[in-house]
Structure 1
Amino acid sequence: MSRSTTDSASSAALPTPKERRRLREALALSEEQVAEAMGVTKATVKSWETGRSEPRGRKLDAYAKLLGASGAPLPEDPLPADPPAAEPRTQPRPPGRRPPERDSPRERDRPSADSPLDAPATRTEHPSTAGCATERTTERTTEPMRASSPAPAARPGVSKPSERLKPAPDANPAPDAPPVTPAPSVDPAPALTPEEAFDALYAHAAPGLVHQTYLLTGRRRLSRESVEHAFHHAWQHWPEVAVDADPVGWVRAAAYEYALSPWHRFRRAHKHPDAPPTEANRRALLGALLELPPPYRRTVLLYDGLGLDLPETAAETEASTPAAANRLLHARTVLARRLPELSEPEELHRRLGTLVAEAPTTTLPPARAVRTGSEHRTRTWTRAVLWVTAALIGVTGFTAATAPTRYIPVNAPGETVNGVPVRGGPQKLSPEDLELRDALRSRPNPGPERLVPVAE
């Protein structure tokens, strides 16, 4: 088997980047310990867990064995069945939530008070974080079948869809049992073109992301600009976004990074926030959020507003899980000090969830205009880079052609220092001296000829 085939087979058994972080923390390993065991740097391990790069060759197999994922691939979302009890962790956690009233569908899906904040409990995600619903439904439907079906020898833990859906043969079939009729084959849905897939992602996630970015910045114009910039960036890197496990999270991270950039404070249009809402409760909560530092504001919005768990929040904010937990604790403390009715985590989660779930009112340009603008901006930057490069080459060539080929020293005239005349060397000729010198050189000598001795 060639090396490329081995890498592809091992990469299929490697979990998603968010799952890699969760598995490492479940094993009570730090990034330094994993880096020392793998023979790489800590930055490389962080890039593996954020999805910026992937291990290859022997390091890929060793990394999969270290995480315990060399067998069947783990699902990204927890299954509906009761998950096993999570191992105790050493990192600090925010205080647990009180058991809420299980009335609404959102509250029924929240974890109980005994479960830690970073436990993989079943939860309800905001529509903007749902991602591709068809892929998640397929994973949850076929996962129990995958566990019960034998895996092929070439790729352990992964079976073909046709093999997973076949019923297991009965060892002792009944004599009067009717023959099993195979289910009719269903034609797969036609594949979407990149433009159609991008348009579907834009229509699904853009309105909610504009509203979330407004809660982070308090500026409607900046929130719309941030989402458009994020989708421009996503279309430029569409091959990467199309295969990402959470494309909405990819775009959301880009929009949040642009919206929270400190350089916007120097722009006059985004220097001051917009007018606060007219409703008192929304105005007070939004004002308290905007008083938090940007990293804390983003953490509490992702965790209590969108319903992400603690490892996912830490991965999206590019922080460690203990750091994300400490930011969440600090943000909750500040919000409770500002609004005493939000001292309970469940009440804060309910208020933020209601604020995030509000219908956005901002009108966005069509997806085609966003794609066209991204392509136009790419062409503009490419042409600008080419013109600057050509100008630099021209200036360099002109300088090389006109530069002297040897050094010509400068004969500086003597100067008088502290009244002391210049020592040695001829004095500078005056205009009269120059005129006399030219006259003597041009006229013949009228005097007697020079006497030459003659030998007798």
Structure 2
Amino acid sequence: MTQTSAVPLPPPEERRRLREAGALTQAQVAERVGVSRETVRAWESGRTAPRGRRRDAYAQLLWSIADKTGGQEPEEVHDMTALQYLAESTATAPGPPPERPAESRLTPAQAFDALYAFCAPALVRQTFLLTGRRELARESVERAFQNAWQRWPEVARDRDPAGWVRAAAYEFALSPWHRFRPRYRHPEPPPSDAFDRALLDVLLQLPPPQRRTLVLYDGVGLDLPETAAETEASTRAAAKRLMNARTAVAARLPDLSDPSALHRRLAELASTERLRAAKPMVVRDGSERRARFWTRAAIAFTVALIGTTALTLRTAPTHYEPPVPPGSTVRGVPPRMAPGPLSEKERELREKLRKQMQSGPERLLPQVT
């Protein structure tokens, strides 16, 4: 790639994403370009723009990171990010989108693939530091990008799409429900290096909020307010978590008491593991299959609910039938007794009845006239 002043410079949203993909801090970028860390922060936020030789050096560094992480060449991006193309061409918004050359616009799939190529390799390594599991790290990143593809217009409009995906991946990786899955009940083989094993063991012993804050601040290189916003905590709480995590790491590994040394060791620990993300097409296909599965499941559940409701209406009674009360014992009835001997009057009455004719004078008989 020819490094001249004609080399396009990625927009501010892409600059930080490329730096994170290369596992570099703002201080390391500033040292390589020859400026201060505050200048690099201003370049990434868009408050200022690099000029002259520093612009060329900064652009060369960013596109070299893109080449290493599988990003697109600047000629393919045409001096704009894929997310900006998508926001202008596919996302719904009031008013007509800005006019751009037809050949410079990317489809949603191409824009998603560009974001995936920039973020996925580094994000898998970061997630491995959170979980200590290689397969879970890959699964978390794939699940986060699958959710991003399902909500792509929203993600493309987001101020920080990489942060959106990173937060989703971290949330899935740190979910406590993974302990009940059979495939994650047994620990994975630790790193081969003894110091890496000790560092990973210390990280996994930290509480999840402290571990996540340490990885974001000392691993990814976010500022404290950005770390606090991504962890949904106040700046003071994030600072306290960071101090507690650094203290715990320094107590077990005194060589890492320096934040710069800790950042270097975290980057080395993540890079030593051969963690490869899946292809973007595989992630998009998996997202679409998952969406179809849940859509069909929702339709089947709705049909079953409608059928159950119809059957209930068909078989339900149309009027109220009071229930039959349960039987109760009747009290006060004299006990049943056997018949005794007849009295004199009863015997006389019996003889009288026997002497009378069966028809009797009082019986009316029909007569033929």
> Does TM, scored on the shorter chain, surpass 0.5?
yes
Corresponding residue for residue 152 of structure 1 = none
Match of 1:207 in 2: 121
* Matching residue of 2:314: 401
The share of aligned pairs that are identical, in percent, is 55
Q: Which residue of 1 aligns with 2:172?
A: 258
Distance 1:304 1:447, change over 3 A: farther
Displacement of 1:252: 1.0
Distance 1:448 1:374, change over 3 A: farther
Answering whether residue 313 of structure 2 is matched by residue 386 of structure 1, we say no
Of the structure 1 ranges 263-272 and 341-350, higher mean CA displacement relative to structure 2 is found in: 341-350
Whether 2:362 is the aligned partner of 1:362: answer no
Q: Does 1:228 align with 2:155?
A: no
Provide closer, same or farther for how the CA distance between residues 203 and 102 of structure 1 changes in structure 2, counting only shifts above 3 A.
closer
Q: Do 1:207 and 1:360's aligned partners in 2 also have CA atoms closer than 8 Å? A: no
Question: Relative to 1, partners in 2 of residues 1:289 and 1:376: Cα closer, same or farther, differing over 3 Å?
Answer: same
Residues 326 and 422 (structure 1), Cα distance of their counterparts in 2 relative to 1, 3 Å cut:
same
**Any stretches of 5+ residues in structure 1 without a counterpart?**
1-74, 79-99, 113-119, 140-160, 162-185, 425-445
CA distance in 1, matches of 2:33, 2:301: 55
Which residue matches 2:32?
A: 105
Shift of 1:102: 11
Larger fraction in helix: 2
Give how far 1:76 is off: 7.2
TM alignment of 1:40-439, pairs within 5 A = 105=32, 110=37, 190-356=104-270, 358=271, 361-416=274-329, 421-422=330-331
Deviation track 1:414-437 (CA, whole Å, cap 9, x = no partner) reads: 344xxxx4568xxxxxxxxxxxxx
- Aligned twin of 2:354: none
- Give distance in 2, aligned partners of 1:77 and 1:383: 37
Whichever residue aligns with residue 196 of structure 1, its letter is Q
Change (3 A) 1:200 1:408: same
Distance (Å, rounded) in 2 between the aligned partners of 1:318 and 1:260: 15
RMSD value over aligned CA atoms? 4.2
Residues of 2 paired with 1:101 and 1:191: CA distance?
33
Give 1:406 shift: 2.0
CA distance in 1, matches of 2:196, 2:31: 21
> Residue type matched to 1:282 in 2?
D
Determine the C-alpha separation between the residues in 1 that align with 2:320 and 2:361.
Answer: 46
TM-score (norm 1): 0.53
**Structure 2 vs 1, CA of residues 322 and 188 (structure 1 numbering), >3 Å: closer, same or farther?**
farther
SS in 1 for 2:228: helix
Q: Which amino acid aligns with 2:280?
A: A
CA distance in 2, matches of 1:299, 1:355: 17
Aligned to 1:364, the other structure's residue is in SS state: coil
3-state DSSP class of the match of 1:405? coil
Contact 2:126–2:219 (CA under 8 A) maintained in structure 1 = no
SS at match of 1:273: coil
Inter-partner Cα distance in structure 2 for 1:321 and 1:103: 25
| In structure 2, distance between residues paired with 1:345 and 1:379 | 46
**2:32 is aligned with what amino acid?**
P
Return closer, same or farther for 1:381/1:327 CA change in 2, 3 Å cut-off.
same
Distance in 2, matches of 1:107 and 1:449, equals: 144
Asked if the contact 1:303/1:313 (under 8 Å) is kept, the reply is yes
TM-score for both structures, normalised by structure 2:
0.64
Report how far residue 241 of structure 1 moved: 1.5
Letter of the 2:321 counterpart: I
Task: State the secondary structure of the residue aligned to 2:104.
Answer: coil
One-letter amino acid matched to 1:381: W
- Distance in 2 between the 1:450 and 1:344 partners? 131
1:239-296 per-position Cα deviation (integer Å, ceiling 9, x unaligned): 1112223222211111111000111111121134312111012111111111101111
Unpaired runs of at least 5, structure 2: 1-11, 16-26, 40-46, 51-57, 82-97, 334-357, 365-369
Deviation, structure 1 residue 451: 6.5
* C-alpha contact (below 8 Å) 2:72/2:114 kept by paired residues: no
What amino acid sits opposite 1:283 in the alignment? Answer: R
Whole-angstrom distance in 1 between the partners of 2:312 and 2:167: 46
